[in-house]
Amino acid sequence: MDTQEQFTIPRLGEAKVSSPIKMSLVDGDKIANYVKDDEAILYDIDIRKQDLQEAAWKPRQMEKAGPREKIYFSPSHVHAGIVTCGGLCPGINDVIRSIVRTLWYRYGVKRITGIPNGFKGLLPEYGFSPIELDPDIVDDIHKVGGTILGTSRGGGERTGELTDTIERMNLNILFVIGGDGTQKGALKIASEVLRRGLRISVIGIPKTIDNDLAFLQKSFGFETAVGRATEAVAGAHTEAHSTINGVGLVKLMGRDSGFIAAHTALAVNEANFVLIPEVPFDLDGSNGLLVHLEKRLAERGHALIIVAEGAGQEHLPPTHMTDRSGNKVYNDIGPFLKDRINAYFTEKNIEVNLKYIDPSYIIRSSRADATDAYYCSRLGSHAVHAAMAGRTGMLVSLVNTYYVHLPIETVISRRHTVDPEGSLWRDVVEATRQPVLMKNR
């Protein structure tokens, strides 16, 4: 059920401390304004006109992110921790840098600790040493990809032990940079903290190249990953274009959501077939991929296929495995498609020259492009403002072009996927001119 309650942000208590950030409360004085607690951003902007006529209908509101005049924590008492979890993603270092600099320079918080190697850095059995952070240490980190803190999958389910360490370290704030699985762990910690009567703010920052976190406009790193993916796809197109019946086949990351594949296809605008997890397809039969590929080669002499890693799993045996983040491990669709395409044309005695490209981790290990770098630095500072104001169990994000607070519980309640009936997929089908559905029924 979609309700206003979905957007209620948990608070640790009343914010009574005057913020050390000198800003303004009045308009027109050319000084940046504090954000007031009654400022909200509407969530529902895509509406049916008839909804507006219904007196009972009200658009849902989200809390606006930004610095408050009154904050919850006394900056001199704050000890903040930062942890980065899950797979790599462009922009992690940018977020760390922004958090450290905002804490240090804006609030005067001087105790900032990096937790090494994800949630495992909070589990004593691993024996990882915490990393002291300050503006000098983070000065140049945004110029490289990866995470200076290290990362890992798993461990987030050991809520009791994680909270014990957080308590032992005397952390007042924990910034958790991660995707879906990580944020589930963060929410459990935030709940356990409250259950124990502690006053520790847990703030998430949405990291994933898959862009599969629901409710928010985009997770950081996604746009850079698309940028790197376009380079691989452009290479595949050049290869395909230069040979007899050349087929470029590119597999892109995107486990359960085809956003990287769809956006890359629209950015390159040269793909003929895009295969994503959300849209099933047949291989054989008169409306299957292979027949349509044959037609395309007969007409144009070359073809470009983009396949998301989670697509077409219905053609492969399940692995029955999950990774340490709890995600299903899929069979490899790329080599499978390559073999099926080659076998089909060999059988028909038609020459094809298929080049298979899997850019794999290259798309997520680079430093952030400008748009992501900008996004990350703003996410980092908004995360600090939220924490200092005593919010918890929430993540900062962009929604409807505004920075807002979203409850983690809401964000992880569903997965963001490409809607096969929505405008993104419609535009992909239009651009590729692939059949609307490659199913024989």
Shortest spacing between CB 219 and ligand F6P, in angstroms: 10
Query: Cα(249)–Cα(130) distance, rounded to whole angstroms?
Result: 44
Site string for ligand F6P, 161-180 (x = CB under 6 A): ------------------x-
Query: With binding defined as CB under 6 A, does residue 323 bind ligand F6P?
Result: yes
Contact region with ligand F6P (CB under 6 A), list: 8-16, 69-77, 163-171, 205-213: 205-213
Query: With binding defined as CB under 6 A, does residue 255 bind ligand F6P?
Result: yes
Tell me the three state secondary structure of residue 258.
coil
117 contacts 128 by C-beta, under 8 angstroms: yes
Considering only 63, 192, 210, 369, the residue that binds ligand F6P (CB under 6 A) is: 210
Shortest spacing between CB 235 and ligand F6P, in angstroms: 20
Q: Considering the complex, state which of residue 179 and residue 206 has its C-beta at the smaller distance from ligand F6P.
A: 179
Q: Considering the complex, state which of residue 192 and residue 309 has its C-beta at the smaller distance from ligand F6P.
A: 309
Q: Considering the complex, state which of residue 364 and residue 382 has its C-beta at the smaller distance from ligand F6P.
A: 364
Query: 361 burial class (0-12, 13-18, 19+ CB within 10 angstroms)?
Result: exposed
Query: With binding defined as CB under 6 A, does residue 208 bind ligand F6P?
Result: yes
Query: Cα(263)–Cα(428) distance, rounded to whole angstroms?
Result: 8
Considering only 87, 118, 121, 277, the residue that binds ligand F6P (CB under 6 A) is: 87
Annotated catalytic residue within 210, 256, 358, 369: 210
Shortest spacing between CB 330 and ligand F6P, in angstroms: 8
Residue 170 is classified by DSSP as T
Residue 24 is classified by DSSP as B
Closest CA to 321 of 334, 312, 310, 330: 330
Instruction: Return the bridge partners of 79, or none.
Output: 111
232 contacts 399 by C-beta, under 8 angstroms: no
Tell me the three state secondary structure of residue 102.
helix
Query: With binding defined as CB under 6 A, does residue 364 bind ligand F6P?
Result: yes
Q: Name, in order, each residue with C-beta under 8 angstroms of 351's C-beta and a sequence gap of 6 or more.
A: 244, 245, 345
Query: With binding defined as CB under 6 A, does residue 263 bind ligand F6P?
Result: no
Query: With binding defined as CB under 6 A, does residue 209 bind ligand F6P?
Result: yes
406: phi then psi, degrees, rounded to nearest 5: -125, 135
Confirm whether 210 is a catalytic residue: yes
Query: With binding defined as CB under 6 A, does residue 37 bind ligand F6P?
Result: no
> Which amino acid is it at 363?
I
Closest CA to 63 of 28, 100, 11, 107: 11
**Longest C-alpha distance within the chain, in Å?**
78
Tell me the three state secondary structure of residue 415.
strand
Query: Cα(187)–Cα(193) distance, rounded to whole angstroms?
Result: 10
**Closest residue to ligand F6P, Cβ-based?**
253
Query: With binding defined as CB under 6 A, does residue 188 bind ligand F6P?
Result: no
Q: Considering the complex, state which of residue 222 and residue 356 has its C-beta at the smaller distance from ligand F6P.
A: 222
Query: With binding defined as CB under 6 A, does residue 63 bind ligand F6P?
Result: no
Q: Considering the complex, state which of residue 210 and residue 239 has its C-beta at the smaller distance from ligand F6P.
A: 210
Q: Considering the complex, state which of residue 63 and residue 212 has its C-beta at the smaller distance from ligand F6P.
A: 212
Kindly give the pairing relationship between strand 302-308 and strand 246-252.
parallel
Site string for ligand F6P, 383-412 (x = CB under 6 A): ------------------------------
Shortest spacing between CB 87 and ligand F6P, in angstroms: 4
Residues in 129-158 that interact with ligand F6P by CB under 6 A:
none
Q: Considering the complex, state which of residue 81 and residue 334 has its C-beta at the smaller distance from ligand F6P.
A: 334
Query: Cα(154)–Cα(146) distance, rounded to whole angstroms?
Result: 18
Shortest spacing between CB 58 and ligand F6P, in angstroms: 35
Shortest spacing between CB 86 and ligand F6P, in angstroms: 6
> How big is the site for ligand F6P, counted in residues (CB under 6 A)?
11
Shortest spacing between CB 56 and ligand F6P, in angstroms: 40
Query: Cα(44)–Cα(123) distance, rounded to whole angstroms?
Result: 41
Query: With binding defined as CB under 6 A, does residue 227 bind ligand F6P?
Result: no
Query: 351 burial class (0-12, 13-18, 19+ CB within 10 angstroms)?
Result: exposed
Residues in 288-317 that interact with ligand F6P by CB under 6 A:
309
Q: Calculate Rg over the CA atoms of the chain.
A: 24
Considering only 66, 146, 254, 277, the residue that binds ligand F6P (CB under 6 A) is: 254
Q: Name, in order, each residue with C-beta under 8 angstroms of 354's C-beta and a sequence gap of 6 or more.
A: 246, 247, 248, 249, 338, 341, 342
| Catalytic residue positions, numbered | 210
Q: Which residues bind ligand F6P (CB under 6 A)?
A: 87, 179, 208-210, 253-255, 309, 323, 364
